[in-house]
Amino acid sequence: MLTKPKLEENKQDSSTSKWKQRFNWLWSEYSVIIAFLIIFIAASIISPRFLDLNNQMNILMQVSIIGIISLGMTVVMLSGGIDLSVGSVLALVGVLTVIALNASGSIFVALLTACAVGVLAGMLNGLMVAKGKIASFIATLGMMAAARSIALYISSGGSISSEVAGFTSIANSELWIIDYPIIIFIVMTAMVYVLMHKTRFGRYVYALGSNEKAALLSAIPVDRVKIGVYTLAGLLVSVGAIIETSRLNSISSASSGMQYELDAIAAVIIGGTRMTGGRGKIIGTFFGVLILGILNNMMNLMNVSPHLQGFVKGLIIIVAVVFQKRE
């Protein structure tokens, strides 16, 4: 028979356990949002210039391209794969877009060319992974080298500038005080969110990333889903390439898109998506991108050497993976 002190002790243990479970659930579901709020408040305290409206718009503008690419990277990683070719494909898409633009004089033709090239590159990645049974790391590594090489060859290793007036308005116009790239990033986030959380395709991607063998036994068309995942990633890279090319009115085959894959992977991992696939959220990637943007902005405001920014990103990736393993 339990005595009164022991009953009270058991009640306290039960209450503590419930609070611990609630905290663990809250952290696992909303850790990236909590981290974003902490970093945002810390940045506001460290630098008064951080809260300036122009600075906030500048952060969103700077992360818009990486943000759009990160959405595609999220879908790929949720399926259990990875795409190392996004930066090189962006450069190739940009080069061919400007060539098509200058040759036809039509912005519409240039946009179609951009989407076609990105979709084709993504589809080739998907075919290599799904039908060729090549590991995604190797397949996209090969695409990374090939796409950059083709871009350099076509442009003779230099930059290509647009000769058509009006092309720059895509990325350099505003709706009230919000730049078009920011609006495009938010719209793309909403569309991919609906795709991944409200459609059959999204459920298939999560199932594939969780257990590919089980997905096969459940009659899920695994190969088609894989091809669709990489094709979608290629399309989103095309959107990023259009914005970057329009904003600069040119594209550099050598430097455009360099290390974009690192930034995209960092944003996705910070957002809570597991490297092994099957777990993660689009909204997490959205806040992961914002966290990276705030950190970069703070380092610039504090005059931290740009050579150290890569170190910070690498450290963040390692810390994020460590936290994921502890969940």
Express as a percent the part of the chain with pLDDT over 90: 63
Radius of gyration over alpha carbons of the chain, in Å? 22
Query: In this predicted structure, what is the pLDDT of residue 23?
Result: 60
pLDDT in tens, 126-169: 999 999 999 999 999 999 999 999 999 999 988 999 888 889 99
pLDDT tens for 93-116 read 999 999 999 999 999 999 999 999
Q: Does residue 10 surpass a pLDDT of 90?
A: no
Q: Residue 162: which residues within 8 A CB-CB, separation 6 or more?
A: 98, 101, 102, 168, 245, 249, 250
pLDDT at 75 over 70: yes
Q: pLDDT confidence of 327, banded at 50, 70, 90?
A: low
pLDDT the model gives residue 24: 64
CA-based max dimension of the chain? 90
Torsional sign, CA 39, 44, 49, 50: positive
* 4 pLDDT more than 60: no
Phi and psi at 77, nearest 5°, equal -70, -30
User: Average pLDDT, stretch 272-287?
Assistant: 90
What's the confidence (pLDDT) of residue 309? 76
Residue 106 backbone dihedrals phi, psi, to 5 degrees: -115, 125
pLDDT at 3 over 90: no
The whole-angstrom separation of Cα 195 and Cα 173 is: 28
Q: Note the pLDDT tens digit of each residue in 200-255.
A: 999 999 999 999 999 999 989 999 999 999 999 999 999 999 999 999 999 999 99
User: What amino acid occupies position 46?
Assistant: I
pLDDT computed for residue 311 by the predictor: 82
pTM over 0.85: yes
The DSSP bridge pattern shows strands 159-161 and 174-175 to be unpaired
122 token code pair? 């993504």
pLDDT at 9 over 60: no
Average pLDDT, the chain: 89
283 residue type, one letter = I
Among 134, 127, 74, 139, which Cα is nearest to 277's? 74
